[in-house]
Amino acid sequence: MNEKSKEKSLIAQEVAVNHNDLFLQLTERWQDGQYAQVADYIRHDVSFSNRANLIDFCVYFANYLGMRELLVLQKLI
């Protein structure tokens, strides 16, 4: 593996870790009752303008909090 490939791989791993941290934070805030803040963050944060990131978050969110909560989030977004 050349240097550029290694660098891209490290960046991809870093992005995945950052997304997992973000997903965890948003899920915890939701559980703390900060519904409007979570929905507002998702609506306005540039990382969620990428549809794949939004889908990944929805899958994560549904896995941890269930479909009922995801449907509530959907209505707020």
Residue-wise pLDDT for 22-58, tens only, equals 999 999 999 999 999 999 999 999 889 899 999 999 9
* Domain enclosing residue 34, as ranges: 3-76
Domain count for the chain: 1
Contact 29, 37 (CB under 8 A): yes
Give the residue with greater pLDDT, 7 vs 30: 30
Q: What percent of the chain has pLDDT over 90?
A: 65
What is the rounded CA–CA span in Å between residue 12 and residue 42? Answer: 21
What is the rounded CA–CA span in Å between residue 70 and residue 75? Answer: 9
Find the range with the poorest average confidence among 14-18, 30-34, 66-70, 73-77: 14-18
Confidence of residue 12 (pLDDT cuts 50, 70, 90): very low
Task: Specify the pTM.
Answer: 0.78
